[in-house]
Amino acid sequence: MINESYKAMLGGKSIIRELSEYATARGEEIGYENVFDYTLGNPSVPCAKEFNEALINIIKNEDPVAVHGYSPSLGITRVRTAIAESLCRRFGVDYKTEHIFMTSGAAGALAHALRAVTKPGDEVLVFAPYFPEYNEYVNRTGAVLKVVPPNFEDFQINFEAFCEMLNPKVNAVLINSPNNPSGIALTTETVERLAAVLEEKQREYGHDIFIISDEPYREIIFKGAENPYISKFYDNTLSCYSFSKSLSLPGERIGYVAVNPKCTDSDILAVMFGQISRGIGHNCPASSIQLAVSEVLELTSDLSVYERNMNLIYDELIKLGFTVVKPGGTFYIFPKALEDDANAFCMKAKKYDLILVPGNNFGAPGYFRMAYCISTEKVLKSFAVLEKFVKEEYGVTV
């Protein structure tokens, strides 16, 4: 009596993972240097060395019973305090220890935030293009994810569509800036307008609407881009953070939810997250990783390669006549394909060992994603292949 609903999910393999596995297999066949794998958002730069130093120091010098002992269910208190103080100092939101809940990365953070502020049947709105895993993250709570179509012009919010979709069943809006897959950061103007719309609708509906802000790329921001701290603009904000990308620690599963101190029930939300954990089997991130990360809160890996790669790829795409919005951060770019069917476009690219991810699953058919967290050398080498591909398949010459 296997659970049929989970069994049915076995077919639904992520297209990203499928293409990534293809790229790996192809690499084994023809040599990795000949495959141009733009599929996975896996940081390619080592973590800040201070993280490793802090971890070794803790393991070597602190009491092992304390270091490896049970973390309180909301996270180790001094770690939560350090995060609250750092966020307060950096963003001017008056977080206290009680507003921080430690999680297994952003996925863990979203699992708690979503359950705390929605119930089965509620609607959660998300803006396309969006990370396809949000479907599983939201729909498995019993709430329903509804996708607001993209504003293709600049990948800011499509307010017209958004306002049409708002209704009293909407209890949360899920945003992700800087964005996977577009690389776009919401501007201050966009965030202010979003906050104003939601404030008005909260009054109109007579209930809270929470912003659940998924912010793993918050620290990967490029020159000239605005990067407003969402929670400053809207009180009912739950900020979901992960150290995966900023510190290159995706495997260590470490992040947090920061509850805006002015949010409804801000004094009990973190405690509620602790209750939610009991049902979903989440019991804090690893204690030694919590302790180590708390010593490097304001450091990042050397992220400069991502901006360097972005500028090179953006210029190349423009040169080849692609329609593309210049990313403000992350390590993604999301150009328009050269034919309406982005799946067909990506399948053709694959023949050239150029592995691109079609945008259909991101809620933006006709577009494709490139994850450029790879070496700059590899990026440069890929241009000849890209040029060959668009010339032979679409007659594009430069």
320 binds a copy of itself (CB under 8 A): no
Q: Which stretch binds a copy of itself (CB under 8 A): 98-106, 146-154, 326-334, 364-372?
A: 98-106
Site string for a copy of itself, 193-212 (x = CB under 8 A): --------------xxxx--
- Enumerate residues 6+ apart whose C-beta is below 8 A from 366: 336, 337, 340, 341, 342, 359
Contact assessment for residue 211 and residue 240, using Cβ atoms and an 8 Å cutoff: no
262 binds a copy of itself (CB under 8 A): no
- Enumerate residues 6+ apart whose C-beta is below 8 A from 115: 141, 276, 280
115 binds a copy of itself (CB under 8 A): yes
What DSSP line would sit under 41-72, residue for residue?
----SPPPHHHHHHHHHHHHHS-HHHHTSPPP
5 binds a copy of itself (CB under 8 A): yes
The only residue of 1, 224, 397, 398 in contact with a copy of itself, by rule CB under 8 A: 1
Q: Which two tokens stand for residue 111?
A: 């699992």
90 binds a copy of itself (CB under 8 A): no
133 binds a copy of itself (CB under 8 A): yes
278-297 positions binding a copy of itself, by CB under 8 A: 278-289
258 binds a copy of itself (CB under 8 A): no
163 binds a copy of itself (CB under 8 A): no
68 binds a copy of itself (CB under 8 A): yes
The only residue of 78, 89, 119, 351 in contact with a copy of itself, by rule CB under 8 A: 119
Q: Which is nearer to a copy of itself, 289 or 317 (CB)?
A: 289
Q: Which stretch binds a copy of itself (CB under 8 A): 247-255, 339-347, 356-364, 390-398?
A: 247-255
Alpha carbon 335 to chain centroid, angstroms: 18
Q: Which stretch binds a copy of itself (CB under 8 A): 1-9, 80-88, 185-193, 330-338?
A: 1-9
250 binds a copy of itself (CB under 8 A): yes
269 binds a copy of itself (CB under 8 A): yes
Contact assessment for residue 100 and residue 294, using Cβ atoms and an 8 Å cutoff: no
What DSSP line would sit under 307-339, residue for residue?
HHHHHHHHHHHHHTT---PPPSBTTEE-PBPSS
State the Cα–Cα distance between residues 111 and 255, nearest whole angstrom. Answer: 12
The only residue of 35, 100, 111, 125 in contact with a copy of itself, by rule CB under 8 A: 111
Classify 209 as helix, strand or coil. coil
The only residue of 43, 181, 216, 328 in contact with a copy of itself, by rule CB under 8 A: 43
**CA end-to-end span of the chain:** 60
272 binds a copy of itself (CB under 8 A): yes
Q: Which is nearer to a copy of itself, 68 or 89 (CB)?
A: 68
The only residue of 31, 92, 251, 321 in contact with a copy of itself, by rule CB under 8 A: 251
The only residue of 82, 84, 87, 110 in contact with a copy of itself, by rule CB under 8 A: 110
Q: Which is nearer to a copy of itself, 185 or 209 (CB)?
A: 209
Contact assessment for residue 243 and residue 109, using Cβ atoms and an 8 Å cutoff: no
Q: Which is nearer to a copy of itself, 269 or 313 (CB)?
A: 269
The CB-of-156 to a copy of itself minimum distance in angstroms stands at: 27
Contact assessment for residue 149 and residue 164, using Cβ atoms and an 8 Å cutoff: no
67 binds a copy of itself (CB under 8 A): yes
Number of residues that bind a copy of itself (CB under 8 A): 81
Run of H or E residues at 148: strand 144-148
Contact assessment for residue 55 and residue 269, using Cβ atoms and an 8 Å cutoff: no
- Enumerate residues 6+ apart whose C-beta is below 8 A from 238: 113, 116, 117, 210, 211, 212, 213, 257, 258, 259, 260, 263, 269
Q: Which two tokens stand for residue 187?
A: 């501007």
- Pick left, alpha or beta for residue 289 (phi over 0 → left; psi -120 to 50 → alpha; otherwise beta): alpha
